């Protein structure tokens, strides 16, 4: 991020929408410390950079957990 850019913070609802998860699942990720967030009053905000990093480190390849290649239709 350059000096002129501002960090973007997302609401829990925005994160849930982007990740196609429920808000409760996002809250669980935050509470377990898996997804960094800052508390603003009674709500949480997730830095865009933290979400991007989470998605990079938790992505999977085309093979499933059992090692078999998955075919897309």
Domain residue spans in the chain?
A: 9-55
| Residues 20-45, mean pLDDT to the nearest whole number | 97
SS3 label, residue 46:
strand
**Predicted structure pTM score:** 0.75
Asked if 45 contacts 14 with a C-beta cutoff of 8 angstroms, the reply is no
Of residues 4 and 34, more confidently modeled:
34
Residues 65, 48: Cα–Cα separation, whole Å? 28
Burial class (CB in 10 A: 0-12, 13-18, 19+), 46: buried
């Amino acid at each position: 991020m350059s000096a002129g850019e501002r960090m973007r913070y997302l609401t829990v609802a925005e994160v849930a929408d982007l990740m196609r998860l429920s808000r409760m699942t996002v809250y669980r990720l935050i509470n377990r410390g898996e997804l960094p967030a800052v508390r603003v009053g009674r709500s949480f905000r997730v830095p865009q950079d933290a979400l991007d990093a989470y998605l990079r480190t938790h992505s999977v390849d085309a093979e499933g957990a059992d090692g078999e290649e998955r075919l897309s239709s």
